[in-house]
Chains A and B, each alone.
Chain A
């Protein structure tokens, strides 16, 4: 070993010039490589601003709020479709102008000279006026989810409210048949007797009988009227009336939820659960209400006692269905809705007219088909990551 070393040493020592020459070459090469790297380094960093695609048209989407995943989903659908058509869609309330109302945002959009507006409208006069102003500026307006029939909007994209109501009605009847039929409620009745004082009777009353009809509550927002709640409610009512068994007593009621303030929805839903008579079935007509009711049922330990019919297929809702807290939910094909919006605007630009109504598909998600949505959700999560 030692010998070898000394032999090596001798070899090196015998020709130090070769060694130094080698080192010189290596160092010079390294320096040049370094220099090239440095050049490349700032050359590449100076070219980071790449050319961006230029789009033909620019649409703007305006929604009531920008928190619910339903809007995000619709926007994504619209955006996807728009990019295919070389159009760009901005969601005005996405991260700017959070304090601005839909009407304000409409004015901004009109002033910004966009090529088309997608707005969640209502039947308000002010809205009609704004839509008409936009039409005057030759900006086509598509109403989304909520319509403004009086205005000069070019098209409406939404859900058939009556059909939705019909679905809800049938679901409510299903719940009654599956769960509530045969259930009875024990009431303690107090009778005042002069002799014996207060007497307490226990009476078992069947749910659905005339004394104790099934209570079905439809939760409506008192301020914002996204869906055509009236049509929807009548759809529910009509379905129940038509399809219920004759001896089944069903009592429909509207639960008005205060949505005027920022966090009032949750508060007013809690208030409902504080009351004595809690409905057997609660039908929620938007995502937030569904989530709040679901949380309240869990918190007040009313699982099994209160049946929820939800709206939209957010992950929370899907999970709740999987656990059996929410009986079923109605999922709208949001991507389809977004796509319809873009198609309507494009068509209007091309032809000058377009179909007045676009109706998005709805799907029912229940315990028996929740699996596939769970998987989808998981997949979606993964793809998000």
Chain B
């Protein structure tokens, strides 16, 4: 197991280098073997005719001895004597190298014979020289003849041996040549085999190195085509390819995760945009209707302000207050044209509206509020409560004919902020409620003084703002039993709590209502 992991952790460089080294080593070993073989063979080829060379030298040396002896016999000079001794010594040295054993090899026996004959010859020559020096003419003549005969025999013997050896060496030479040829072809086969095995080894090793790369390339292609749904590649080795494979795997995983995330956020953004667009559309719709329905609020507002100042100068306080409230109502309409307002703003608007109505209709609408002050700062879309209250007055209370009563409550309910507007008017049939809720109910003729914003617009904007369908519930117990409209908002932490001034204003509104 350890060996396995060791093997797995070798680097790519090491792997490739070892392939090269291995194959080269194989080639080198075989080449060395072949070289040694060729060297050996050529060496032996060179040695084949060595014997003949040696015998030629021997024959020459023998001739020199004979010549020197003859010279001495002819002239009897000291030079020739010296030459004779030298050559005799040379010849003896050469002869000493010859074989002296009796073996089964003919050449060995012939060498032995030549050795003995040379000894015999040299002895005769020596005796000849001695006799010559002793001036024994008779004796040296006899010895000379004998020596000459022995010279001839020995020379003939050497020549014969030389010839025989030449014949045998020639055979050996051709035999060696044949072997050499055989060796050549064997070497060729060996080299071819080495080549083949090297090719195999390289294919084998490169294959193992390349195959994870191939897989990686295939997977990368798939990914490039956009298919992230691929199997993760197995990390076969811990070399560079393994590292790349691992990195590729984690890259594929991260990319697909990232893409998923982007897709989700884009989806959310798209939904948000859509909602914003819708909301804007509705708001524009509301405003258009408002502008169609109302006179220019700026003009009205300025006019009313002028009226209020006039009333104050004239000391008509109630007129002043009335005109002031009307002006406040229109200011709100104009100022709070932004999308989001607080509940407090909306309630103030309702307060002003009811005050105006009470003045207009001589205070036949009773108005009461049950406010959880901690919720006043909660945000909500603007121009929501006023249309509801308007509906209550127009459809509930005016049609009833009696003393109207409007009750506004703000409270917590199951984690939601609930704004309830309740009247004691004629009430609504189930069908009407259903129609209003589904937005199919249309008023045939808008009541005078209505700002023209219908319930369907209110509901839509509430839905868009909260992102929830359950934003409004209309309850009615039946004919002449009043109607309650409940709005639901989600509470946000930052919106809890309310400034003291707001509170005071509300209390003041309450007081005013009480006085009214």
- A38 touching B34 by the CB < 8 A rule? yes
- A54 touching B204 by the CB < 8 A rule? no
B490 at the interface (CB under 8 A from A): no
A46 at the interface (CB under 8 A from B): yes
- B183 touching A42 by the CB < 8 A rule? yes
Q: Separation in Å of the B28 CB from the closest CB of chain A?
A: 12
- A54 touching B102 by the CB < 8 A rule? yes
| A-side interface size class | 35 or more
Among the stretches A16-24, A174-182, A330-338, the one at the interface with B is A16-24
A104 at the interface (CB under 8 A from B): yes
Take A17-B207, A42-B40, A113-B119 as given contacts and tell me if A34 and B190 are in contact as well, using a CB distance cutoff of 8 Å.
Answer: yes
Indicate with 1 or 0, residue by residue over A50-71, a CB within 8 angstroms of chain B CB atoms: 0011111110000000000000
Q: Separation in Å of the A92 CB from the closest CB of chain B?
A: 9
Indicate with 1 or 0, residue by residue over B462-479, a CB within 8 angstroms of chain A CB atoms: 000000000000000000
Q: Separation in Å of the A79 CB from the closest CB of chain B?
A: 11
A108 at the interface (CB under 8 A from B): yes
**What's the dominant secondary structure at chain A's contact region?**
helix
- B190 touching A35 by the CB < 8 A rule? yes
List 4 tightest A-B contacts by C-beta distance, closest first.
Answer: A27-B197, A113-B116, A112-B113, A52-B103
* A contacts, CB < 8 Å to B: 16-17, 20-21, 23-24, 27-28, 30-31, 34-35, 37-39, 41-42, 45-46, 52-58, 88, 90, 96-97, 100, 104, 107-108, 110-114
A108 to chain B: which residues have CB within 8 Å?
Answer: 113, 117, 153, 157
- A104 touching B153 by the CB < 8 A rule? yes
> Can you name 20 A-B pairs with beta carbons within 8 Å?
A20-B200, A27-B200, A27-B201, A28-B201, A34-B193, A35-B190, A39-B33, A41-B182, A42-B37, A45-B179, A53-B103, A54-B101, A54-B102, A57-B102, A88-B109, A107-B149, A108-B117, A108-B157, A111-B153, A112-B117
Name B197's contact: one of A30, A45, A90 (CB within 8 Å): A30
Take A16-B207, A27-B196, A42-B40 as given contacts and tell me if A111 and B120 are in contact as well, using a CB distance cutoff of 8 Å.
Answer: yes
A52 to B17 alpha-carbon distance, docked (Å): 54
In chain B, residues 167-223, which have Cβ atoms closer than 8 Å to a Cβ of chain A? 179, 182-183, 186-187, 189-190, 193-194, 196-197, 200-201, 203-204, 207-208
Name B116's contact: one of A35, A41, A112 (CB within 8 Å): A112
B259 at the interface (CB under 8 A from A): no
A110 to chain B: which residues have CB within 8 Å?
Answer: 120
Name A30's contact: one of B109, B179, B193 (CB within 8 Å): B193
Given A27-B197, A111-B150, list of 6 further CB < 8 A pairs? A34-B186, A41-B186, A42-B36, A53-B103, A56-B102, A90-B109
Name A96's contact: one of B26, B103, B160 (CB within 8 Å): B160
Indicate with 1 or 0, residue by residue over B14-44, a CB within 8 angstroms of chain A CB atoms: 0000000000001001100110110011001
A310 to B497 alpha-carbon distance, docked (Å): 162
B200 to chain A: which residues have CB within 8 Å?
Answer: 20, 23-24, 27
Q: Separation in Å of the A318 CB from the closest CB of chain B?
A: 32
A57 to chain B: which residues have CB within 8 Å?
Answer: 102
A55 to chain B: which residues have CB within 8 Å?
Answer: 102-104
B112 at the interface (CB under 8 A from A): yes
Q: Separation in Å of the B338 CB from the closest CB of chain A?
A: 73
B196 to chain A: which residues have CB within 8 Å?
Answer: 27
B108 at the interface (CB under 8 A from A): yes
Nearest residue, chain A, Cβ from B32: A35
- A42 touching B41 by the CB < 8 A rule? yes
A5 to B350 alpha-carbon distance, docked (Å): 93
- B105 touching A52 by the CB < 8 A rule? yes
Nearest residue, chain B, Cβ from A23: B200
In chain B, residues 98-141, which have Cβ atoms closer than 8 Å to a Cβ of chain A? 101-106, 108-109, 112-114, 116-117, 119-121
B187 to chain A: which residues have CB within 8 Å?
Answer: 38
B334 at the interface (CB under 8 A from A): no
A113 to B109 alpha-carbon distance, docked (Å): 11
A17 to B164 alpha-carbon distance, docked (Å): 62
- A111 touching B103 by the CB < 8 A rule? no
B119 to chain A: which residues have CB within 8 Å?
Answer: 113
B306 at the interface (CB under 8 A from A): no
Nearest residue, chain B, Cβ from A37: B186
B156 at the interface (CB under 8 A from A): yes
A46 to B187 alpha-carbon distance, docked (Å): 18
* B contacts, CB < 8 Å to A: 26, 29-30, 33-34, 36-37, 40-41, 44, 101-106, 108-109, 112-114, 116-117, 119-121, 149-150, 153-154, 156-157, 160, 164, 179, 182-183, 186-187, 189-190, 193-194, 196-197, 200-201, 203-204, 207-208
- A38 touching B104 by the CB < 8 A rule? no
A160 to B463 alpha-carbon distance, docked (Å): 158
A46 to B149 alpha-carbon distance, docked (Å): 41
B201 to chain A: which residues have CB within 8 Å?
Answer: 24, 27-28
Take A38-B183, A108-B117, A112-B116 as given contacts and tell me if A52 and B104 are in contact as well, using a CB distance cutoff of 8 Å.
Answer: yes
- A20 touching B157 by the CB < 8 A rule? no
B105 to chain A: which residues have CB within 8 Å?
Answer: 52
Nearest residue, chain A, Cβ from B172: A48
Q: Separation in Å of the B32 CB from the closest CB of chain A?
A: 10
A54 to B201 alpha-carbon distance, docked (Å): 55
- A28 touching B34 by the CB < 8 A rule? no
Q: Separation in Å of the B436 CB from the closest CB of chain A?
A: 74
A169 to B303 alpha-carbon distance, docked (Å): 194
Name B194's contact: one of A31, A54, A56 (CB within 8 Å): A31
A21 to B150 alpha-carbon distance, docked (Å): 75
- B160 touching A58 by the CB < 8 A rule? no
A42 to B186 alpha-carbon distance, docked (Å): 12
Take A21-B204, A42-B37, A97-B160 as given contacts and tell me if A88 and B102 are in contact as well, using a CB distance cutoff of 8 Å.
Answer: yes
Nearest residue, chain A, Cβ from B156: A97
Name A88's contact: one of B37, B104, B203 (CB within 8 Å): B104
A5 to B270 alpha-carbon distance, docked (Å): 60
Q: Separation in Å of the A163 CB from the closest CB of chain B?
A: 37
A52 to chain B: which residues have CB within 8 Å?
Answer: 103-105, 108
- B197 touching A28 by the CB < 8 A rule? yes
B164 to chain A: which residues have CB within 8 Å?
Answer: 96
B113 to chain A: which residues have CB within 8 Å?
Answer: 108, 112-114
Name A113's contact: one of B40, B103, B120 (CB within 8 Å): B120
- A31 touching B30 by the CB < 8 A rule? yes
- A20 touching B116 by the CB < 8 A rule? no
A17 to B194 alpha-carbon distance, docked (Å): 20
Which of B106, B121, B187, B200: most chain A Cβ within 10 A? B200
Name B29's contact: one of A35, A46, A58 (CB within 8 Å): A35
- A46 touching B117 by the CB < 8 A rule? no
Nearest residue, chain A, Cβ from B101: A54
B150 to chain A: which residues have CB within 8 Å?
Answer: 107, 111
Q: Separation in Å of the A189 CB from the closest CB of chain B?
A: 63
Nearest residue, chain B, Cβ from A29: B197
A114 to B34 alpha-carbon distance, docked (Å): 47
- A41 touching B203 by the CB < 8 A rule? no
A90 to B153 alpha-carbon distance, docked (Å): 17
Take A38-B33, A108-B153 as given contacts and tell me if A17 and B102 are in contact as well, using a CB distance cutoff of 8 Å.
Answer: no
Q: Separation in Å of the B474 CB from the closest CB of chain A?
A: 75
Q: Separation in Å of the A380 CB from the closest CB of chain B?
A: 23
A112 to B153 alpha-carbon distance, docked (Å): 10
A348 to B45 alpha-carbon distance, docked (Å): 47
- A58 touching B102 by the CB < 8 A rule? yes
Take A17-B208, A37-B186 as given contacts and tell me if A58 and B203 are in contact as well, using a CB distance cutoff of 8 Å.
Answer: no
A54 to B103 alpha-carbon distance, docked (Å): 5
Take A104-B153, A113-B119 as given contacts and tell me if A31 and B102 are in contact as well, using a CB distance cutoff of 8 Å.
Answer: no
Q: Separation in Å of the A54 CB from the closest CB of chain B?
A: 5
Nearest residue, chain A, Cβ from B121: A111
